[in-house]
Each structure stands twice: as structure tokens, then as C-alpha cells.
Amino acid sequence: MRKLIIDTDTAADDSFALLVGLLHPQADLKAITIVAGNVDFTQQVQNALITIDQAGRSGEVPVFKGATDPLTRPWLEASAHGDGKGNVDWPQPRQLPESIHAAEAIVKMANENPGDLDILAIGPLTNIALALALDRDLPKKIGELWIMGGCDNSIGNVTAAAEYNFYVDPEAAQMVMATGFDVTIVTWTLTLASATWTSEQLGAIRDLETPLAHFFSVLDTPNKEYNESVGVPGSTHPDSLTAMLMVEPSLILRSSRRRVEIETQSNLTRGYSLMDPREVRRVNGKEFNATVIDEIDALGFYTRFVELLSSPIR
């Protein structure tokens, strides 16, 4: 069982990753921390609280508010999600957010559970960078840090060079990659190849007719409509994929060690993630600093997620 914190810019697929954390038998979700990203910050906090409520876990997992802007750059919203909760009104969640800052909460919890607490970071890495600024020994105290971000030397979803999470706060991403965390990365490249669900697959979820399947379908629809407007057939699930792989590692078919660096200087390639697999690097002789997931059991991921949506709510 994994003790974990999920750091999230909660909208749509972030909520589905939270469902994995809240409902999967191998996940022991200790906290949710909110970072500036996908949609309006206050809305993201609300979306996380709604998700906890819909999962039947109200009052059991604290939500901490973190960075409301990237480290040095203006906030940039994602265009794929509407308000991140399907553009409908859900019942008012009963839980309220905590008062201490997310970065302080991460440091405090890491010190209380040395080596025994993992982080799943599925938004820009601003909160993790702030926590690192508070405690430079944080990488030694955290077990594993799983990140959804970047592209595998491939085409991005914000610009041709960059994926959203790394594009929004490249300084935070580079700071986190440079400081010795035990990092595993799920990329946008892998998401497009293996976590894009077709209309038939989404229809099968709708037909489950469980409360969670309804919640999923409503939140997912704006993403599917956006994707189809930009030529991606179906809805994409980068964050829930990363969450699921953390607790179902048998779904990982292939991974590789890489040197990952994030571009912070260029306007043209801002947020580009160089993921270097070479054993011998003549110019940049730095050590490998991440495991990148190369291939997964795509049908297995979908099937496990459907099982989760079929599970009863307490």
C-alpha cells in the first residue's frame, strides 16, 4: 500500500487521478495539495473537494492550498477543461480546505513519514519546488516522486516543443529535476499513445450507470470535445494514468533511465523536456535522474479504471 500526497491542478483528469488515490485498495491518500494550473485556482480547490465528496470520502483527506502562480511567470490556464467539473453544478462539498500552505504541509508530512511517503505530482511543479526551497533535504525524505509532465523528445500539447505542466512553470520543473528526487515520469507522448480512450470506450463507461461513472462522464466530456477540435480522437488521461501506474506497477511494460532537463531560457522551446537515454554523454556527463515510462498495458489501464468506477461508494 502506498502512502501518498497528490499535488494537483484539479480539473477533469486530475479528478480521475484523485479517484484512484481515494478509492484504489493499494492507495493510502494522506493529503491533496493544489497548485496553479489548469483552471482558476479557487475552482481547482472546489473541484478537489467535490471529487472527495463524490468518492464518499468527505472529511477524510485534507486539502491544502498551494501556489496560486508559477515561480516567476504569469499563470496560464489550459484550454481543454471548461471549469474542470464538467460545467455543471455538483452538490456543495461538506469539507473545507486547510489553512496551512501546501508547501509547508508537504515538508511537515515528509518529516513525519521519512522515506515512507510518495508524491504524485500531476500539475505544474511549483508546490514541489516551494517545498524544496523550505527544506533542501526533502528529496531524501520523500520515497518516490511520480510526475506527469513533458514529452519524450516529441511534440507537445501547448507548443510543438512543450507539454502544459512543464511549459507553465519550467523553472520549477528544472529545479525539481536537478535536486535528487527519486523520479518517475509519465509523458504526454505516452498518454497519446496509450491513454486516449475512444468513443466506444467512453460509451461503455457511461453504460455502467454508477454514480462514479456519471461523475466521470460529465467531467470528461469537455476534454473529449476539445480533443476532437484539435484532432485527437477521444479523451486523454495523463494524470489518472500516472496515478494508476503508481498503484498497479504490473501495467508498466517498459521503462528506461534518462537524464531529464527542462528548457528555461528559450522562448521558442520554453518547457521542452530533453529526455536523454544515452549511457555515454560526451558533452553533458550528468547522471541519470529519472525513470521514464516507455510502454504500458493500455487496455489493462482502461480495464482497471472501469473497475474503479464500478466500485461501490461508502
Would you tell me which residues interact with Ca ion (CB under 5 A)?
A: 9, 14, 122-123, 239
Please, are residues 3 and 28 in contact by the beta-carbon 8 Å criterion? yes
Read off the C-alpha cell for 40.
482558476
Pick from 107, 266, 38: which is nearest to 171 by CA? 266
Q: What's the min distance (Å) between Cβ of 36 and Ca ion?
A: 11
What is the rounded distance in angstroms from the CA atom of residue 192 to the CA atom of residue 154?
11
Q: What's the min distance (Å) between Cβ of 280 and Ca ion?
A: 35
Nearest residue (CB) to Ca ion, 6 versus 138: 6
Nearest residue (CB) to Ca ion, 118 versus 163: 163
CA distances to 59, 99, 119, 132, 275 from 135, in Å: 28, 20, 15, 5, 27
Nearest residue (CB) to Ca ion, 9 versus 83: 9
Q: What's the min distance (Å) between Cβ of 199 and Ca ion?
A: 23
Q: What's the min distance (Å) between Cβ of 202 and Ca ion?
A: 19
Nearest residue (CB) to Ca ion, 123 versus 271: 123
Q: What's the min distance (Å) between Cβ of 103 and Ca ion?
A: 18
Q: What's the min distance (Å) between Cβ of 284 and Ca ion?
A: 29
Nearest residue (CB) to Ca ion, 15 versus 141: 15
Q: What's the min distance (Å) between Cβ of 13 and Ca ion?
A: 6
